[in-house]
Structure 1
């Protein structure tokens, strides 16, 4: 707070080195002795205006990417550290050209931006270059704000899907428990048969029937509990009734469990598509899909349906166009209506993900293109972070959609399976191939 008539004094300046003014000896003294494993923090604490990213990059260059050993920096390491600092200073003074870029993870999440090349992440990060500092900052913060808006708009869908998956899982657990109890139905039938075969030696009011089990070759004597209020014949019919009830319940439960597992797979596929949404349009399309399936309240009458974006387009190293669906409805459209019978269809085995189509145009598809398409299928699936992802593939003519199946659900035959490890470099080449062709 500034008061009238009072002289304003600047806060005391911390005793830190300025990169633009500090000489070699001052920079060397700053890191001697060196805090074990904390060189980057030491640089940030001792210098003005230095970001942790830049400090880590200098340390990475000084120690050639290895961890520092001991508490003293070697002369050669000190030389490399000072050289890295001087290179940065030259860029700041305009003596060398700057390299403006933003860094993002392989999943597309923005992490850093800088005015010089960053090598410390290796292949773990992807780089997007810009022509100026303003363009870099605009891209970084605009994209970050967009990601924040998308996350906020998708939060209610994530909550809905999580609660739905939890509810279905609990219901399936109860049904499986009931189904396990039905396994005793054959024992009920055997008890009814044994009682029917020994009615002549039983009396009303007996609490237990001791009879020979003729289902066992040794014919041992077994005890069968009876209801003292019922006649022997009625007790036998009581066990038969339990058998029939368990048999009927078993058939119903098997069908209910099958439907529940299919519903759970569908919700899981929508959840996976939601994690890969890149625009508000993608989220709106998923809302309409869930409303159409009864999981959300339908939009008011007269509301125009959202126009979905076209499938993702890639091009293989052999020149084949590869199409990737963005969501379940687009998967159906792509596979069942847009693709030709001789095109190749791919999907991760037992893992929610996108349908992938290789457009053959009547040509034979080489193995290299099939491999790249399988990489795309693995990347656009829930298994994109796995080491080995199984991908099934077959001609489109062998892919069918059962009547009443949920969006994105198909059956297929005559398929082969390829195991792939997601490779971002190959995927990036497929993306670049689209731009090169378009240009």
Structure 2
């Protein structure tokens, strides 16, 4: 925080505050104008991850209507001049001091205090007397008796941590430094619980530089190991005191690929994390870190939401299939009911009325005896007719159930293909494409009802103008929804192979149909994972002969976007053929095709980060 506040002070001192918005209920964005340049500062107070981002154009939309907190900030700070940015030593707090003109035309001072703390982070506006004007989160005595954060109350700073400062350690022994930890604390905890401004990651770094495992208990260390830990700690403190800044982002892998994760950001060199990328400044590194964290958080939130919606659709489809399977089981009783009717008719002369059952000989089965249940309220002939009616009804039920089960199987296969696309999604555009496909399901369902006659007038009723008008409006509404969705379709993924040939990969089933059946030339090569749902991949060769390396890369992409064997190990089978041999059966769901004259190749999934993306 020390380096951040110095860099912010250098960038923003003297700047005019031109705009204040909230992009969500946790995030405030301040827009400054300074020396001919515009810049924005994002202050996020999400309880799970407070964040700070400094840039020129963050492209965030304001909440509408604006919350009361923003209106109060605008009242007191809009047009104010930022005089300085300060921070208490070794605390995660920033203090923005402003000069502004009040309603009487007098120059006055305001302070915007930012507390970057997990779960209890806050943004507080106070006047020159330290009285609170407003706060993002109000805290009364029922929540915190030490410090109430309410309008018209005096601002009370967070309680001191009573830890040792990094510049106070040089004359202290290991026993004097490490005296506040508990008996079962490991080395990382022993460091950051005793030293002000240290985090768990600096605790692990201290243990690593001392040649010790951070999971070991401090109480189990020998004296020479404690001294080694002290020397490593003093070396880090010296870097802090001398401002030996090394801003960098730290990753879990050295190679740039789709699976690489961003671990941490720091202004001190973390030697226990070997894979890093340096930044021009601490502020730039922090901004990049929180931009990436926000992107990942938004991606995961959107993906989780789509997964829940998709799972609900799959659950409903499975439930419908179970009901149709029950209908098919009942429908298979039709032949038995037909047999009962025929046997009753052939034995009318021997059956007396008012009987609950009768035993007759089954001339279809070597005259074996069979018992048939009867309704004693009806004659034998009437019982036979009732069985024939059951036969006709169950026969129709069986025929309809078979059709519906085929439709259910196609729907489940279609939803499973969407699930595969969702699992393979790597960026927010992939999720938007999947959302577009899922949102198109509802208009299609309504259109199907209109086609099947479910929304038409009831049989025997006159076709009134009112109902015909309602039908027409409903169909127009569905068409408009479909047209509206089609206007915002995202483009498919484009890659460039090692031989400079374009490879196109569909993001969803609608794109799969478009690139395979509309955009691909007849002699372009088409790829798909064998016997499993996955993305369609097309090499846009434009009449050129496709080299073997490009074929391997396209097949690897088909395996990657089918989600098979990404972790390595067994190879995946991928079919490929010319696009002329791929066709769509009548009535098939989006993305479902049949093909022939194909070849099969065994490949390992290819991480698309290896190939160059084409926009």
- The equivalent residue for 2:148 is none
**Alpha-carbon separation, structure 1, partners of 2:188 and 2:407:** 56
| 1:202/1:209 contact within 8 Å kept | yes
Superposition pairs of residues 341-352 of structure 1, within 5 angstroms: 341-348=522-529, 352=533
- Write the distance in 2 (CA, Å) between the matches of 1:340 and 1:407: 20
Does the alignment pair 1:38 with 2:186? yes
Deviates more, 1:394-403 or 1:81-90: 81-90
**Number of the residue aligned with 1:363:** 545
1:78-120 deviation per Cα after TM superposition (whole angstroms, max 9, x unaligned):
6886686577557656797725115489568765333467687
Report the number of matched residues.
425
The alpha carbon displacement at 1:267 in A equals 3.9
Q: Say if 2:320 is the partner of 1:139.
A: no
Q: Which residue of 2 aligns with 1:186?
A: 335
- Contact 1:19–1:48 under 8 Å retained in 2: no
With over 3 angstroms needed to count, the CA separation of the structure-2 counterparts of 1:364 and 1:156, relative to structure 1, is closer
Name the CA distance, whole Å, in 2 between partners of 1:226 and 1:49: 89
Q: For the Cα contact (< 8 Å) 1:344–1:393, is it kept in 2?
A: no
Quick check: which one's helix share is greater?
Answer: 1
Over 3 Å counting, the alpha-carbon distance change for 1:302 and 1:46 in structure 2 is same
**Which residue of the partner structure matches residue 327 of structure 1?**
508
1:408 paired to 2:560: no
Q: Is the 8 A contact 1:273 1:327 kept in 2?
A: yes
User: Which of these residues, 384, 389, 409, is aligned with residue 236 of structure 1?
Assistant: 384
Instruction: Evaluate the alpha carbon distance shift between residue 245 and residue 9 of structure 1 in structure 2; reply closer, same or farther with a 3 A threshold.
Output: closer
Matched, 1:376 2:525: no
Structure 1 284/335 Cα, relative in aligned 2: closer, same or farther at 3 Å? same
Q: Which runs of 5+ in 2 are unaligned?
A: 1-125, 132-153, 448-476
Deviations 1:149-179 (A, max 9, x none): 6677788766654443333332222222222
How far did 1:225 drift?
A: 0.6
Query: Structure 1 residue aligned with 2:407, among 239, 244, 259?
Result: 259
What residue in structure 1 maps to residue 580 of structure 2?
Answer: 397
Query: Do 1:31 and 1:39's aligned partners in 2 also have CA atoms closer than 8 Å?
Result: no
TM-score, normalised by the number of residues in structure 1: 0.73
Alignment of 1:260-275 (within 5 A): 260-270=408-418, 273=421
Instruction: Please tell me whether the aligned partners of residues 101 and 115 of structure 1 are also in contact (alpha carbons under 8 angstroms).
Output: no
State the structure with more CA Rg. Answer: 2
Range with bigger deviation, 189-198 or 89-98: 89-98
CA contact (8 A) 1:353 1:381 kept: yes
CA RMSD of aligned residues (A): 4.9
Partner residue of 2:428 out of 267, 278, 283: 278
- TM-score by structure 2 length? 0.55
- Native 8 Å contact 1:34 1:73 kept in 2: no
Counterpart secondary structure, 2:193: helix
Q: Measure the CA separation in 2 of the matches of 1:416 and 1:75.
A: 69
1:16 and 2:168 are equivalent in the alignment: no
**Larger RCO (alpha carbons 8 Å, 6+ apart):** 1
Query: CA offset at residue 300 of structure 1?
Result: 7.0
